[in-house]
Amino acid sequence: MRWILMLILTGMAWVSSAQRLDRSMWMGVERNAADLSIHLGAVGSGLTTSFASALLTQDFLEREAIQVQRDKLRTINSAGFDYRADVLGVAQLKDGWAVTAGVTDVAHASTEFSDDAFRLLFEGNAAYRGLELDLSSSSFQYLRYQKFSVGLMRNNLNSSMGFRLSLINGQQWINANAERAKLSTSDWGDTLGLDLIGQWQQSGLDEGYFGAQNGAGVGLNLFLSHDWVTEEGTWRALIDVRDLGWIQWFPGSQEYQVDTVVTFYGVEVNDFEGNAVGAGLGDSLDRAFLGWRNTGVINTWTPSWIQCSVKQERDKGFEFGLGATWRPFTVVKTYGWMLAGYQFNQKWYAGSEIGYGGFGRMQVAIEGMFHTRSVSARLRWANMEGLIFSDRLGGMMITAGIQYQFGS
């Protein structure tokens, strides 16, 4: 329970931008290569970086900090977290063909929550006697899995394409959503009312250690790029599909479908004899939930990325680009962006980006890249606004990658 809460809060805490795929360095590489990349980012809207940081680094959250954060929330807020670590090898064959093999560790968390949910969690319901806290339209999804992939890639003069097929080990999965959830507390506090229509699905909640085998599936990554050479340089169009997949969670997975209205007045003790105090709202809810419990196999789609982009590539000078990212099977909105960068020489590049959508609103990122014949390195820092204006905005994302190329 504690780490679920941590995940929720972490996801909520960082509001971010640049919620898109970075171009993987292995795409179109023309030599043998070993590639390591890590992507870590949390994005969203409503919560500030300061609050999230305090939550993670301090021992105790002062009430004032909670109130400051509460006042910055919108009615419905969203947040998400993505983590990906990818180790990949590329071996060149003949005629532009290459094979790839890799291991990837992926985590995704996303949530939508109301400001009332925040109030309930961080303040309790005592201050809201006589009111109704609306927790509707809340959702939470968390998925962790590992992929073992092999793939094929082909490069020619102006285009390249490739795919990676994966076997997936499902480690852990939680999916919760509340279509309608309202908690009312009477004026005097002698009545609690809960109106709930919701769903909870889980697998591997009790055995969530790294690599735990709680599900299995298949996945697909693919890309297709094409270059157009013009007087202003080369324009590269890229379609990148990543983490498209399906997981079947093993028997023992649990699903709760709840449609209930519970009114709790306390324990009735009309005659003290034979009564024991100890039953409570929890018992009532347990009964409501257990009445709708199913266990067995559950199938899910993995949170995926589909991204289309166009970017200018030059040996030296300013470069521009734009693109859009769609996230199937998540609550993330479509993210669109524009970028501008400067290629200092063949080795160094620096760029910046502004975008809108995803979990947040307007977002800013910067990136830098170093490239030689043997080594490529890339560092990207997104959601700068969340770090700089940490008391007002929130979010942070870092992507780092390094690649070693060898052979002819």
Partner 1 sequence: MSLLFRTGIFNTFGLLPMERSMIQNIRALILVLVGFVSCNGPLDIASWEVEATSPLVYGRMNIADLLAVKEISSEGGVLQYRVQDTLVRLGVDTLIGIPDTTLVSEFMIPVGGVQWPAGVPFYSDTIRTTFNLDGAQLSFAEVRKALFSVSLKNNLKEQILVRYRILSATQNGDTFELEELVPGKSTFEGDFVLDGYNLDFRGLDGTRSNTLNAYVEAMIDPNFTGTYTFSAGESFEIQNTFKEIIPQYAQGYFGQQLTQYEDSVTIDLFKSLAFRSADILEYDVDITIDNGIGADLLFEIGGVSTYNSSSVVSLGHPILGEPQPIGRAIRTAGLASPVKHMQQHYSFTSSNSNLDELLEIRPNGIAYNMSLEINPLGDISLGNDFVRFGHDISASMDLTVPLKFGVEGLLLRDTFAMNVDTSDSEQIDRILGGVIRGKILNGYPFEATVQLLFLDSNGVVTDSLSDIRQTIQSAEANGFGMVINSVESEVVFPFDRDRVDAVLGATQAVVLARFDTYQSQIVELRDSYEIEFRFAADLNTTLP
- For residue 154, the Cα-to-chain-centroid distance in whole angstroms is 30
Nearer to partner 1, 323 or 394 (CB): 394
Least distance between partner 1 and beta carbon 26 (Å): 21
Asked if 260 is part of the footprint of partner 1 (rule: CB under 8 A), the reply reads no
Least distance between partner 1 and beta carbon 27 (Å): 24
Asked if 139 is part of the footprint of partner 1 (rule: CB under 8 A), the reply reads no
Asked if 154 is part of the footprint of partner 1 (rule: CB under 8 A), the reply reads no
Residues present in the chain in total: 408
Fill in the DSSP letter of residue 8.
Answer: H
- Please state, in angstroms and rounded to a whole number, the distance separating the CA atoms of residues 337 and 237: 15
Which range binds partner 1 by CB under 8 A, 272-280, 302-310, 345-353, 370-378? Answer: 272-280
Instruction: Enumerate residues 6+ apart whose C-beta is below 8 A from 131.
Output: 184, 185
Q: If binding means CB under 8 A, how many residues of this protein chain bind partner 1?
A: 70
Decide: helix, strand or coil at residue 138.
strand
Cα–Cα distances (Å) from 285 to 132, 140, 176, 199, 253, in that order, read: 18, 20, 16, 14, 20
Binding residue (CB under 8 A) for partner 1 from 71, 95, 231, 271: 271
DSSP string, 320-345: EEEEEEE-TTSSPPPEEEEEEEEE-S
Asked if 190 is part of the footprint of partner 1 (rule: CB under 8 A), the reply reads yes
Nearer to partner 1, 85 or 402 (CB): 85
Binding residue (CB under 8 A) for partner 1 from 129, 182, 314, 361: 129
Residue 364, number of CB atoms within 10 A of its CB? 18
Which range binds partner 1 by CB under 8 A, 2-10, 71-79, 292-300, 353-361? Answer: 2-10
- Please state, in angstroms and rounded to a whole number, the distance separating the CA atoms of residues 327 and 339: 20
Asked if 49 is part of the footprint of partner 1 (rule: CB under 8 A), the reply reads yes
Asked if 64 is part of the footprint of partner 1 (rule: CB under 8 A), the reply reads no
Phi, psi of 126 (to 5 degrees): -60, -35
Nearer to partner 1, 127 or 157 (CB): 127
- Please state, in angstroms and rounded to a whole number, the distance separating the CA atoms of residues 30 and 92: 7
Which range binds partner 1 by CB under 8 A, 29-37, 151-159, 260-268, 291-299? Answer: 260-268
Nearer to partner 1, 123 or 313 (CB): 123
Cα–Cα distances (Å) from 259 to 3, 98, 194, 379, 405, in that order, read: 27, 53, 10, 47, 57
Q: Give the per-residue contact string, 370-399, with partner 1 (x = CB under 8 A; - = no).
A: -----------------xxxxx----x-x-
Binding residue (CB under 8 A) for partner 1 from 31, 32, 36, 40: 40
Nearer to partner 1, 96 or 124 (CB): 124
Q: Which two tokens stand for residue 192?
A: 């609690």
Q: Residues 122-129: contacts with CB within 8 Å, 24+ apart?
A: 122/61, 122/66, 122/69, 122/70, 123/66, 123/70, 125/183, 125/185, 125/192, 126/185, 126/189, 128/185, 129/185, 129/186, 129/187, 129/188, 129/189
Binding residue (CB under 8 A) for partner 1 from 71, 94, 156, 209: 209
Asked if 97 is part of the footprint of partner 1 (rule: CB under 8 A), the reply reads no
Asked if 55 is part of the footprint of partner 1 (rule: CB under 8 A), the reply reads yes
Nearer to partner 1, 94 or 282 (CB): 282
Cα–Cα distances (Å) from 87 to 36, 107, 137, in that order, read: 5, 15, 37
Asked if 192 is part of the footprint of partner 1 (rule: CB under 8 A), the reply reads yes
Asked if 354 is part of the footprint of partner 1 (rule: CB under 8 A), the reply reads no
Binding residue (CB under 8 A) for partner 1 from 273, 290, 315, 408: 273
Asked if 266 is part of the footprint of partner 1 (rule: CB under 8 A), the reply reads yes
Q: Which two tokens stand for residue 401?
A: 């990658």
288-327 residues near partner 1, rule: CB under 8 A: none
Asked if 56 is part of the footprint of partner 1 (rule: CB under 8 A), the reply reads yes
- Please state, in angstroms and rounded to a whole number, the distance separating the CA atoms of residues 246 and 389: 39
- Nearest Cα residue to 314 out of 236, 402, 374, 208: 236
Asked if 350 is part of the footprint of partner 1 (rule: CB under 8 A), the reply reads no
Asked if 251 is part of the footprint of partner 1 (rule: CB under 8 A), the reply reads no
Summarize as ranges the residues that interact with partner 1 (CB under 8 A): 1-3, 5-6, 9-10, 13-14, 40, 42, 49-50, 52-61, 63, 66, 81, 83, 85, 105, 107, 121-127, 129, 185, 188-192, 208-210, 264-273, 275-278, 280-281, 387-391, 396, 398
